[in-house]
Amino acid sequence: MIYKAYNEEDFIREMTESGFYENHSLSIGALKAIFQYLDELSKDWKTNIELDVPNIMYSYTRYNSITEAMEYLGFPSIEALKDECTIIEYEGGIVLSSN
C-alpha cells in the first residue's frame, strides 16, 4: 500500500474540493481542528490514518457551542455529552464525533 502524507493545507484542499463539502456544515476552521486532532491521534497511536473524505465529512458535525450541541442532541450535561462524543474545540465553535 502507498501512503501520502498530508499537511493541513493539503487536507483542507482534499476536503473542500470533494463533492461532499458543499452539502455539509463543516467550516474551514472546523476542518483545521479536525486535521490537528487526527494528526495528534496518529502520533499518539504511532500509526497512519487513512484520508477517507466521505467518512470524515459524515462523522463530524460542527456546532457553535457546547450548549448548542447539548440542546440539539438532548444531553443533560457536558459529562453526558463527553461520554458519548469526542469534542474538538476550536475558535469559532466545536466539532463532535460520536465515540
* Average pLDDT estimate for 48-58: 91
Q: What are phi and psi of 81, to 5 degrees?
A: -65, -45
d(CA 6, CA 15): 11
d(CA 38, CA 23): 22
Lowest-confidence segment of 32-36, 54-58, 59-63, 74-78 by average pLDDT:
54-58
* Average pLDDT estimate for 12-16: 93
* Average pLDDT estimate for 60-72: 95
Q: What's the pLDDT at 40?
A: 97
* Average pLDDT estimate for 9-18: 93
* Average pLDDT estimate for 77-85: 95
In the structure, what pLDDT confidence band is assigned to residue 22 with cuts at 50, 70 and 90?
A: confident
Cell numbers for 32, please give them: 483545521
d(CA 34, CA 1): 24
- Residue whose C-alpha is closest to residue 93's, from 72, 70, 62, 71: 62
Mean confidence (pLDDT) of the chain: 92
Q: What's the pLDDT at 1?
A: 73
